[in-house]
Amino acid sequence: MELRKSRFNFFIPLANNYYILYNTFSGAIALIDKEVKNCIEKEDFSKIPPAMLNYLQKQEFIIPSSLDEIKRYQYY
């Protein structure tokens, strides 16, 4: 399955190369490091550890490419 980052993701910088990742649509919040942030921004998901990738998908930070987020947003 092809994946992409959600358009509703925002990164909030913290100290020591950590970030809060916030998805304004799902309301999900996660603490991530700079490496994961860079992978999400570049959509290079192969470098994200499988357990973290699974978590990011479940929280809708990373979504199927086929998902139309705008249509879904308009539905709600």
pLDDT at residue 75 greater than cutoff 70: no
pLDDT at residue 66 greater than cutoff 80: yes
* Contact (Cβ atoms closer than 8 angstroms) between residue 53 and residue 20: no
At residue 1, the pLDDT reads 79
Question: Widest CA span of the chain, in angstroms?
Answer: 39
Cα separation, 73 vs 69, in Å, equals 6
DSSP one-letter code for 65: T
Band of pLDDT at residue 72, cut at 50, 70 and 90: confident
pLDDT at residue 73 greater than cutoff 90: no
* Contact (Cβ atoms closer than 8 angstroms) between residue 15 and residue 55: no
Report the percentage of the chain scoring pLDDT > 90.
86
pLDDT at residue 37 greater than cutoff 90: yes
Report pTM.
Answer: 0.87
Q: Which of 24, 27, 30 is nearest to 8 (CA)?
A: 24
